[in-house]
């Protein structure tokens, strides 16, 4: 039976359980009138439904996740001895092939006899397991309905019970964020450790040459590839720097004008318009950078005698800067507005002009918050992917010339992982090492920024 | 004393002109910053609309195809040589074309999709066999580009995608009224294709929608539940602090990292099918979850404590207070946050590249485990294609994507204005 079908049946059973529980509660209450129900009848129904649905669903999910593993082990165990004796990764390949044969429902004509037999066995086991799993799940659901139904008494604290279950569910949902972070750290860390076993960590962090495309297999001699990530980091830094050079002055000045000078009407129009910039998908910016900005820059700057490559750091950085403008401006806007009016009034009373007040009182007072906002924007720029993938290029040049093509961490991750991949080669593992660096750097930036912003906000509240 | 104060005033007055000039300049910088930013916005939209608007129309050619009975096997209409029929029709239109290379030039004027159109026409009404039918078929992308003004006659022949003889044939067709530009339905009903004139966004769009369904189904309940717990029930302790710091951090983690997680955990560990809307939806759920949690918490915070106190006062339990009173009042704000999160998910590309949703998808995905791609990824793929006609398609796909985002955001704004209560 298919997963969705079993799921639907479990849900229907829960609904049935709800009515059964509710009816039972009304029945036991009606039988001896002197005893009043502890909770409203609906709670008895809910309790039955929850007890029916939750264990059954958990079992269903566990079955679905565990089934392939068990079946694979069984199938591998039945393979001919000489196949099982192969090294582990070759066995994995065989398993993959079997799985492909199963999924595509191919008639295994000229395939290996043993493999096609294994595929048939796999299919057969899967059918059996599917039936067995569905049967067990439905049995469990019915059994739990019966157990709860039997125990319903007027004195049963159904509401408290239901609320405990719901609260436990809420706690699990709230803890998801931690699991996600944990998942990120573990997945990236494990693959990175595997990578650092092949390429020493100092070579990765401080090497000057990056050419991962050379190494197709780890055991190839002479083309082991070079995994020195300095050019990649340098490219990331340069593009982020260009982006910040665009975004910080424009964003900050926009925020200052909007919060200090603009009248209400202008603000009501200009602010949402600026925010639109933040809502445009990055792939659109990438297209804009590659097709409009880059050719324009090449033509206009070549006129001055500079040689601009078609995928220059400048185009990517410039467009990324535009994308970040609203980020800087709305964060700065918040902190500037949080500066108490009394401080401005004090400066005006001393005879300062508006700009002097802003420059000498408001900005210094808001500086920690602005710096925090800029740090968040930097972390955004470092982690931005699509603009640089489409406009910045792949060549890992170690250069300070913004008219040349450079590459970034995110571009490398994408190019290393998109397309067919062998999961054990240092080439793909390098992507996870880069991901680890990216995650750690952005994490530090975020934590520092959030800390600074929060601390600052408390100052004037 | 008198002397002294006069001096101060003099100093102030002397500096005043300069200070006012600085003031004016500073103000100008502010206006300039906003103007430049908005100029970029305008430029972005203008360039994309200018490139993309023509993709909504497509050049069609009218052919009169003779469906001779001898060509068809009535039991198996799919076997007939439709491509051959189209070619024969073209040869009959221009009998003077003899040489092999000229014939090739002639055949390349209509799209390879013409044969499919003919095939569909015949299989839908087999009664047409034996007659001569007039059928509008899509022109080749180069012809389309020529009629949209992207290929100029001024360019020397060797640099031009259309040869002189091809232009002459086209001119004759045009004079006979056999060339028409119409609304491009293929773009909205087709899947991806190597031929720009046959490429459409429906497969990518369906992929996006399937992905969003998964994302919404997972992230909305989990996000709301998490927000309710953190806002209404959570004790102040270290674990809750960790959770909160985590949520704020996750909101700022680069999206590509979520792609790495999806690849390592969902695909390689749990064996979720690669390239499927299922795994895409799971990854986007992780990404939108923090957005929804943060928005939902803000919405819960805006419900005044008096509501809770009143409910508790008449004997409701805390769970009843939340589910009967607080949650319904906070729901519009939560929905607004969710729509904004969904908009973010709809526009997201980078993590989907990691989990293999960069596939060449011709067929419309039918379920959550079929290989699929998403609209922004389709844009990325088309942007990489060298054909001139794909630039137009890319821009048009961007316009469709932006239209959806605008609609979603408008919906969020309307929802907020309509249902949000000021206490």
For A320-378, write each residue's pLDDT tens digit. Answer: 999 999 999 988 988 898 888 999 999 999 999 999 999 999 999 888 889 988 999 99
- DSSP for B102-145 reads HHHHHHTTB-TTHHHHHHHHHHH-GGGTTSEEEEEEEBPHHHHH
Between CA B298 and CA A402 the distance in angstroms is 42
Measuring CA to CA, how many Å separate A148 from each of A18, A19, A145, A154? 11, 13, 5, 13
pLDDT tens by residue, A258-277: 999 999 999 989 988 898 89
> Could you tell me if A399 and A297 lie in one domain?
yes
As a whole number of angstroms, the distance between CA B187 and CA B183 comes to 9
| B360 → chain A, closest CA residue | A419
State whether A272 and A133 are in the same domain.
Answer: no
Rg (CA), chain B: 31
> Tell me, what's the pLDDT at B39?
94
The pLDDT score that the predictor gives to residue B285 is: 94
Predicted local distance difference test score (pLDDT) of residue A363: 92
Residues A246 and A106 in one domain: no
Same-domain check for residues A344 and A443: yes
Q: Last residue of a domain, which of A106, A128, A156?
A: A156
Which of A159, A187, A283 is nearest residue B380 as measured by Cβ atoms?
A: A283
Establish if A438 belongs to a structural domain: yes
* A133 and A266 fall within a common domain: no
**Between these two residues, B325 and A403, which has the higher pLDDT value?**
B325
pLDDT band for A312, please (50, 70, 90 cuts). confident
Number of domains comprising chain A: 2
Query: CA–CA separation, A77 vs B258, rounded Å?
Result: 36
Give the model's pLDDT for residue A121: 83
Residue B18 CB coordination number (10 Å): 9
Question: Which pLDDT does position B1 carry in this prediction?
Answer: 46
Q: Chain B: nearest CA to A155, how far in angstroms? A: 18
Say yes or no: B6 contacts chain A, CB-CB below 8 A: no
Mean pLDDT on B254-277: 87
In terms of phi and psi (left: phi > 0; alpha: psi -120 to 50; beta: otherwise), the region of A352 is beta
Mean pLDDT of chain B: 88
> Is residue A445 situated within a structural domain?
yes
Give the pair of three-digit tokens for residue B297. 């918490």
Give tens-digit pLDDT for A151-206: 888 888 889 999 999 999 999 999 888 888 898 888 889 889 988 888 888 888 88
Domain contains A259: yes
pLDDT band at B175 (very low <50, low <70, confident <90, very high): confident
Helix (H) or strand (E) holding B65: strand B57-66
Which CATH number covers residue A263? 1.10.3720.10
Tokens 């040349």 -> residue? A404
Same domain, yes or no: A95 and A243: no
Instruction: Nearest by CB to B249, from A359, A417, A446: name it.
Output: A446
Question: A114 and A243 in one domain?
Answer: no
The shortest C-alpha distance from A371 to chain B (Å) reads 16
Looking at the fold, whether A340 and A262 belong to one and the same domain comes out as: yes
pLDDT band at A215 (very low <50, low <70, confident <90, very high): very low
Q: Of all residues in chain B, what percent carry a pLDDT higher than 70? A: 98
Structure tokens at A421: 């991949």
In a domain, A95, yes or no: yes
Q: How far is CA B396 from the centre of its chain?
A: 9
Structural domain containing residue A434: 226-460
Window 108-167 of B, Cβ < 8 Å to A: none
Is a pLDDT exceeding 90 seen at residue B288?
yes
Last residue in a domain, options A156, A176, A193: A156
Q: Which of A288, A379, A410 sits opposite B47 (nearest CB)?
A: A288
* pLDDT 10s digits, A87-106: 776 777 777 777 777 766 55
Determine the pLDDT at residue B214: 94
Neighbouring CB atoms inside 10 A of A233's CB total 20
Over 70: is that where the pLDDT of B26 sits? yes
In a domain, A65, yes or no: yes
For residues B102 and B91, give the distance between their C-alpha atoms in angstroms, rounded to a whole number: 10
Q: What is the pLDDT of residue B343?
A: 93
Across the interface, do A184 and B261 touch by the CB < 8 Å criterion? yes
Buried-exposed string A304-340: b where 16+ CB fall within 10 A, e elsewhere: eeeebbebbbbbbbbbbbbbbbbbbbbbbbbbbeebe
User: A118 and A239: one domain?
Assistant: no
CB A343 within 8 A of CB A416: no
Residue A205 lies in a domain: no
By CB atoms closer than 10 A (0-12, 13-18, 19+), residue B238 is: exposed
Q: How far is CA A115 from CA A101, A135, A249, A260, in A?
A: 9, 30, 65, 74
Looking at the predicted structure, is the pLDDT value of residue B421 above 80?
no
Same domain assignment for residues A152 and A233: no
CA distance B156 to chain A (A): 23
Contact B332, B341 (CB under 8 A): no
Give contacts of A 378-417 with B, CB under 8 A.
379-380, 382-386, 389-390, 410, 413-414, 417
* Tens digits of residue pLDDT in B381-398: 999 887 888 989 999 999
Domain presence at residue A176 = no
CB B358 within 8 A of CB B383: no
Query: Do A152 and A268 lie in a common domain?
Result: no
Q: Are residues A151 and A230 in the same domain?
A: no
The structure tokens 């004027």 sit at B109
> Is B371's pLDDT higher than 90?
no
C-beta atoms of B319 and A273 within 8 A: no
- Choose one of A137, A156, A175: the last residue of a domain: A156
The distance in angstroms from the start CA to the end CA of chain A is: 60
Q: Measured between CB atoms, does B17 come within 8 Å of chain A? A: no
Touching check for A156 and chain B: CB below 8 Å?
Answer: no
Classify residue A179: in a domain, yes or no. no
What average pLDDT score do residues B393-414 get? Answer: 92
Burial (CB < 10 A; 0-12, 13-18, 19+), residue A449, is buried
Rounded to 10°, the helix A158-198/B238-250 angle is: 60
Q: CB contact, 8 Å: B49 with chain A?
A: no
Facing residue for B349 by CB, picked from A282, A292, A442: A282
Predicted-complex ipTM score:
0.90
pLDDT at B3 over 80: no
> Which is it for the CA torsion A191, A192, A193, A196, positive or negative?
positive
């Amino acid at each position: 039976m298919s997963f969705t079908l079993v799921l639907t049946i479990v849900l229907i059973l829960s609904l049935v359980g709800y009515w059964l529980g509710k009816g039972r509660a009304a029945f036991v209450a009606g039988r001896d009138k002197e005893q009043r129900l502890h909770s409203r009848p609906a709670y008895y129904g809910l309790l039955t439904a929850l007890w029916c649905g939750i264990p059954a669903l958990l079992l269903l999910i566990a079955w679905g996740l565990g089934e392939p593993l068990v079946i694979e082990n069984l199938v591998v165990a039945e393979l001919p001895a000489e196949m099982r004796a192969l090294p582990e990764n070759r066995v994995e390949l065989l398993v993959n092939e079997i799985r492909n044969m199963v999924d595509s429902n191919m008639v295994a004509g000229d395939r290996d006899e043993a493999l096609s037999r294994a595929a048939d066995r796999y299919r057969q086991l899967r059918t059996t397991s599917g039936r067995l799993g569905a049967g067990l799940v439905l049995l469990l659901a019915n059994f739990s309905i019966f157990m709860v139904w039997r125990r319903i008494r007027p004195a049963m604290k159904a509401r408290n019970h239901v609320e405990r279950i719901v609260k436990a569910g809420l706690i699990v949902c709230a803890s998801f964020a931690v699991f996600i972070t944990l998942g990120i750290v573990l997945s990236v860390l494990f693959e990175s450790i595997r990578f650092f076993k092949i390429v020493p960590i100092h070579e990765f962090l401080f090497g000057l040459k990056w050419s991962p495309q050379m190494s197709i297999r780890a055991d190839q001699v002479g083309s082991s590839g070079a995994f020195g990530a300095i050019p990649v980091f340098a490219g990331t830094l340069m593009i982020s720097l260009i982006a910040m050079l665009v975004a910080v002055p424009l964003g900050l000045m926009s925020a200052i004008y909007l919060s200090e000078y603009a009248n209400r009407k202008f603000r009501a129009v200009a602010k949402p318009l600026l925010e639109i910039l933040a809502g445009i998908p990055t792939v659109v910016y990438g297209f804009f950078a590659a097709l409009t900005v880059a050719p324009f820059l090449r033509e206009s700057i070549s006129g001055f005698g500079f040689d601009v490559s078609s995928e220059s750091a400048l185009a990517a950085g410039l467009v990324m800067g535009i994308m970040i403008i609203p980020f800087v401006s709305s964060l700065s806007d918040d902190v500037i507005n949080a500066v108490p009016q009394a401080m401005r009034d004090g400066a005006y009373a001393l005879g300062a002009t508006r700009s002097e007040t802003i420059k000498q009182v408001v900005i210094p007072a808001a500086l920690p918050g602005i710096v925090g906002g800029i740090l968040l924007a930097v972390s955004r720029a470092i982690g931005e992917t699509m603009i640089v993938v489409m406009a910045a290029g792949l060549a890992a040049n170690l250069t300070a010339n913004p008219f040349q093509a450079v590459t970034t961490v995110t571009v490398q991750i994408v190019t290393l992982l998109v397309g067919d991949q062998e999961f054990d080669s240092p080439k793909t593992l390098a992507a996870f090492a880069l991901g680890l660096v990216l995650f750690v750097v952005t994490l530090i930036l975020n934590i520092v920024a959030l800390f600074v912003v929060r601390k600052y906000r408390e100052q004037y509240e | 004393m008198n002397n002294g104060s006069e001096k101060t005033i003099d100093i102030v007055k002397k500096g005043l002109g300069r200070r006012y000039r600085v003031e004016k300049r500073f103000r100008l910088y502010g206006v300039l910053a906003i103007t430049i930013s908005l100029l970029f916005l305008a430029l972005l939209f203008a360039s994309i609309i200018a490139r993309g608007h023509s993709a909504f129309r497509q050049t069609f050619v009218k052919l009169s195809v003779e469906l001779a009975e001898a060509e068809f096997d009535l039991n198996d209409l799919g076997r007939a040589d439709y491509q051959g029929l189209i070619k024969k029709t073209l040869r009959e239109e221009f009998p003077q074309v003899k040489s092999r290379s000229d014939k090739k030039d002639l055949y390349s004027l209509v799209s390879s999709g013409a044969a499919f159109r003919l095939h569909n026409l015949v299989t839908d009404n087999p009664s047409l066999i034996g007659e001569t039918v007039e059928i509008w078929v899509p022109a080749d992308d180069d012809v389309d580009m020529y009629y949209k003004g992207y290929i100029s006659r001024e360019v020397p022949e060797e640099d031009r995608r259309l040869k002189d003889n091809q232009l002459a044939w086209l001119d004759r067709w045009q004079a006979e009224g056999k060339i028409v530009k119409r609304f491009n339905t293929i773009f909205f009903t087709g899947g991806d294709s190597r031929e720009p004139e046959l490429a459409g966004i429906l497969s990518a769009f369906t992929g996006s929608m399937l992905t969003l369904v998964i994302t919404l189904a997972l992230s909305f309940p989990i996000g709301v539940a998490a927000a309710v717990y953190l806002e209404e029930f959570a004790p102040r302790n270290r674990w809750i602090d960790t959770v909160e710091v985590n949520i704020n951090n996750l909101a700022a983690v680069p999206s590509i990292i979520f792609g790495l997680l999806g690849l390592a955990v969902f695909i390689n560990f749990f064996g979720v099918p690669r390239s499927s809307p299922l795994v895409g939806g799971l990854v986007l759920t992780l990404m939108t979850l923090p957005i929804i949690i943060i928005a939902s918490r803000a919405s819960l915070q805006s419900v005044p404590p008096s509501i809770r106190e009143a409910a508790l006062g008449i004997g409701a339990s805390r769970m009843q207070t939340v589910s009967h009173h607080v949650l319904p009042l906070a729901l519009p704000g939560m929905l607004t946050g969710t729509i904004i999160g969904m908009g973010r998910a709809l526009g997201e590309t980078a993590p989907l590249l990691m989990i293999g949703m960069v596939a060449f998808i011709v067929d419309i995905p039918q379920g959550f485990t079929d290989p699929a791609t998403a609209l922004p990824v389709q844009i990325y793929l088309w942007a990489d294609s060298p054909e001139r006609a794909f630039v137009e398609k890319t821009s048009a796909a961007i316009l469709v994507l932006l239209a959806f985002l605008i609609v979603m955001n408008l919906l969020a704004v309307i929802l907020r204005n309509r249902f949000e209560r000021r206490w």
